[in-house]
Amino acid sequence: MSETLANLLQENRRFEPPTALAEAANVKADAYDEAADDRLAFWAKQAGRLDWAKQWDQVLDWSNPPFAKWFVGGELNVAYNCLDRHVEAGKGDKVAIHWEGEPGDTRTLTYSDLHKLTCQAANALTDLGVVAGDRVAIYLPMIPEAAVAMLACARIGATHSVVFGGFSVDALSGRIQDASAKVVITADGGYRRGKPSALKPTVDEAVAKSPTIEHVLVVRRTGEEVAWGEKDHWWHETVETASTEHEAQPFDAEHPLFILYTSGTTAKPKGILHTTGGYLTQTSYTHHAVFDLKPETDVYWCTADIGWVTGHSYIVYGPLSNGATQVMYEGTPDTPHKGRFWDIVDKYGVTLLYTAPTLIRTMMKWGDEFPAAADLSSLRVLGSVGEPINPEAWMWYRKNIGHDGSPIVDTWWQTETGAIMISPLPGVTGTKPGSAMRPLPGISADVVDDQGQSVPNGGGGYLVLREPWPSMLRTIWGDDQRFIDTYWSRFPGMYFAGDGAKKDDDGDLWLLGRVDDVMLVSGHNISTTEVESALVSHPSVAEAAVVGATDPTTGQAIVAFTIPRGSVDSEGEAGEVLIKELRDHVAKTLGPIAKPRQIMLVAELPKTRSGKIMRRLLRDVAEHRSLGDVTTLQDSTVMDLISDGMQSGK
């Protein structure tokens, strides 16, 4: 590769932290210096925010890279840190979870309530024969029992493996078998899009294929009829009748806390293993630092599902270890109407919101009137995670949700990193729309070229992490070699994240998406993210996905799939005019080299269930191939819509 990744998009807008927020911020600029002076001492100090049953002897053992051990010799209990210590400190009556069911039913759980339920679930699991080190699969909707199930496993030292409730029989049974799980915790179903959506039938089929499962614990949520087998136990008859007394035993800092499978588009999913002390240290610290959480006054809401790492780290472990009050919502954002999220913010007075670019762009498409109808003045910090956030989506988020004043923290991390790695600090960092800015204190991220050399400011290349961090994955479950090959072999001595990135002239970081999504057009590397951002910056565009299609003259050519905003006329002639305008707009914004060969106006984009665009399928369409595997699509009909659109000549 002769040239480095493109550096086309110019972004000059800057937003300084509000003065009052900056003055009262949990973490100030000196944290960067402190961590730079002595990284391990910095992390040891953050570990000290937790309650340890036994102090560690060594902060980091990196004698056998890439296998790290953090807080060697230390012992703690994760559930104790998330629950008991708050209750013991007199905060038992504080609300932990304001839960909102999709049909409108609600539950309020204080820290005492959550503690009692978790003790009961820990006792029930123990009675079912679960012991420390066993694996427990969790396949639940977004109900408080999901958090309780995870905490109960942590409390008894069982390793949980949460499987997203939208996944199929094969996905569930594959994950159960890979980890040899002994128990599954599930529900009859949950509510989605205004109706009950069953889970138990999927579990029944998966369990039939999974001989290691001894027991199935079933929460009753929808009340729908379910088939019942010998291994099944109702949660309300087992957990809710168990003793509320349970003493948490401390576990080694490196005790396996959970396995979470990354989806993996073609290959077998990777079971990412996280452990106890380092993971809790970094999720707890980053939640405190990046969201500036004030546990006494803030109301925090992360809209992710518990089946993703965001739900693990920033619904369960980070917020609860910090004693936060949070909102948990069961359902979809447009049930019963497109303003549901904003009604929830208004109702609970949410102050800190954490969501994903895909949702922000969907909200843009739906229109400004929905957020405008609710009182969002309580919001003081807005977070984004999961994909690069296009500058225009960032601006829309700031203006329409953050009343043009709340800082946006664009947080880069991965299932593998366990916790946020790159992000602004809301009271410190002046932000730029679309940039995740700087590595957090104690994190050494860099951008390197093909040879592994650090690129200068203004350059682009591959995102790497140079030093181990507390919440890093410890391995891929059962496959150390794959762990080494996937992350530690591309650049010796560095963790390869698989993302393209650039440093701007100030040294701030811009994430460009997966390396596989970089296009090579007439010898220039152009990132799909930058072209997408240019398209979304046009007032008629709500969402865009860009792929590189094989082209006889340019090697690859840029093909864009674009969703017009709700109010835009894009039929027939008007559509042709818009397409020409958009091609010219990209050429003007990024330069003629980035002008798409073809733009298609579509109604939807193919996304995974976690909201990531499946460019692989769009590439199939652009190159007139038959479609690859569509089983991980959120909505399998969207590909028909897209192919139909193409046939009509757009």
- Answer for which of 25, 360, 393, 436 binds ligand WT7 (CB under 6 A) is 436
- Answer for which of 102, 232, 252, 387 binds ligand WT7 (CB under 6 A) is 387
- Answer for which of 75, 499, 530, 620 binds ligand WT7 (CB under 6 A) is 499
Q: Does position 511 bind ligand WT7 by CB under 6 A?
A: yes
Question: How would you list the strands of the sheet with 270-275, edge to edge?
Answer: 232-234, 215-219, 183-187, 135-139, 159-162, 256-262, 270-275, 475-476
Candidates 165, 262, 281, 276; CA nearest to 498 is 262
Helix, strand, coil proportions of the chain in percent (round to 5)? 35, 25, 45
Query: Facing residues of 70 across strands?
Result: 60
Task: Please report how the helices 528-536 and 572-590 are oriented relative to each other, as an axis angle in degrees rounded to 10.
Answer: 120
Q: Give the CA angle between residues 51, 57, 59 to the nearest 5°.
A: 80
Three-class SS of 352-368: EEEECHHHHHHHHHHCC
Q: How far is the CB of 80 from ligand WT7 (least distance, A)?
A: 26
Q: Does position 491 bind ligand WT7 by CB under 6 A?
A: no
Q: How far is the CB of 328 from ligand WT7 (least distance, A)?
A: 18
Residue 391 vs residues 358, 383, 397: alpha-carbon distances, Å = 13, 14, 10
> Binding site annotation covers 174?
no
Q: Does position 219 bind ligand WT7 by CB under 6 A?
A: no
Q: Does position 362 bind ligand WT7 by CB under 6 A?
A: no
State which residue, 86 or 312, has the beta carbon closest to ligand WT7: 312
Q: How far is the CB of 421 from ligand WT7 (least distance, A)?
A: 9
Residue 68 vs residues 44, 96, 294, 452, 489: alpha-carbon distances, Å = 15, 33, 32, 22, 16
Q: Does position 412 bind ligand WT7 by CB under 6 A?
A: yes
Stretch that binds ligand WT7, among 149-157, 493-501, 519-527, 637-645 (CB under 6 A): 493-501
Q: Does position 382 bind ligand WT7 by CB under 6 A?
A: no
Q: How far is the CB of 308 from ligand WT7 (least distance, A)?
A: 6
- Answer for which of 386, 460, 468, 596 binds ligand WT7 (CB under 6 A) is 386
**DSSP 3-state of 486:** helix
Please report how many Cα atoms fall inside a 13 Å half-sphere around the Cα of residue 174, on the Cβ side.
Answer: 16
Residue 479 neighbours by CB under 8 Å, 6+ apart: 270, 271
Q: How far is the CB of 460 from ligand WT7 (least distance, A)?
A: 14
> Binding site annotation covers 415?
yes
> Binding site annotation covers 522?
yes
Q: How far is the CB of 439 from ligand WT7 (least distance, A)?
A: 13
* Residue 636: its H or E element: none
Q: What is the DSSP letter of 230?
A: T
Q: Does position 411 bind ligand WT7 by CB under 6 A?
A: yes
State which residue, 388 or 427, has the beta carbon closest to ligand WT7: 388
State which residue, 269 or 498, has the beta carbon closest to ligand WT7: 498
Q: Does position 262 bind ligand WT7 by CB under 6 A?
A: yes
State which residue, 502 or 524, has the beta carbon closest to ligand WT7: 502
Burial of 571 (0-12, 13-18, 19+ CB in 10 A): exposed
Q: Does position 632 bind ligand WT7 by CB under 6 A?
A: no
Candidates 243, 183, 190, 242; CA nearest to 217 is 183
Q: Does position 518 bind ligand WT7 by CB under 6 A?
A: no
- List, as one string, the DSSP characters of 516-557: GGEEEETTEEEEHHHHHHHHHTSTTEEEEEEEEEEETTTEEE
Q: Does position 583 bind ligand WT7 by CB under 6 A?
A: no
> Binding site annotation covers 255?
no
- Answer for which of 26, 265, 414, 540 binds ligand WT7 (CB under 6 A) is 414
Q: How far is the CB of 550 from ligand WT7 (least distance, A)?
A: 24
| Number of residues located near ligand WT7, criterion CB under 6 A | 22
State which residue, 171 or 218, has the beta carbon closest to ligand WT7: 171
State which residue, 410 or 532, has the beta carbon closest to ligand WT7: 410
The amino acid that residue 294 corresponds to is K
- Answer for which of 160, 398, 514, 615 binds ligand WT7 (CB under 6 A) is 514
Burial of 636 (0-12, 13-18, 19+ CB in 10 A): exposed
- Answer for which of 385, 428, 472, 535 binds ligand WT7 (CB under 6 A) is 385
Site string for ligand WT7, 307-336 (x = CB under 6 A): -xxx--------------------------
Q: How far is the CB of 605 from ligand WT7 (least distance, A)?
A: 16
State which residue, 7 or 210, has the beta carbon closest to ligand WT7: 7
Candidates 512, 470, 464, 513; CA nearest to 492 is 464
Residue 104 neighbours by CB under 8 Å, 6+ apart: none
Q: How far is the CB of 143 from ligand WT7 (least distance, A)?
A: 21
Asked if 286 and 274 touch (Cβ cutoff 8 Å), the reply is no
Q: How far is the CB of 260 from ligand WT7 (least distance, A)?
A: 9
Q: Does position 534 bind ligand WT7 by CB under 6 A?
A: no
Q: Does position 396 bind ligand WT7 by CB under 6 A?
A: no
Three-class SS of 42-73: HHHHHHCCCCCCECCCEEEECCCCCCCEEEEC
**DSSP 3-state of 191:** strand
CA distance 386 to 364: 17
* Residue 564: its H or E element: strand 555-564
- Answer for which of 219, 497, 515, 642 binds ligand WT7 (CB under 6 A) is 497
Q: How far is the CB of 244 from ligand WT7 (least distance, A)?
A: 34
Binding positions: 192-195, 310, 386-388, 410-415, 499, 514, 522, 536, 538, 541
- Contact residues toward ligand WT7 (CB under 6 A) are 262, 308-310, 385-388, 410-415, 436, 497-499, 511, 513-514, 610
Binding positions for CoA: 192-195, 310, 522
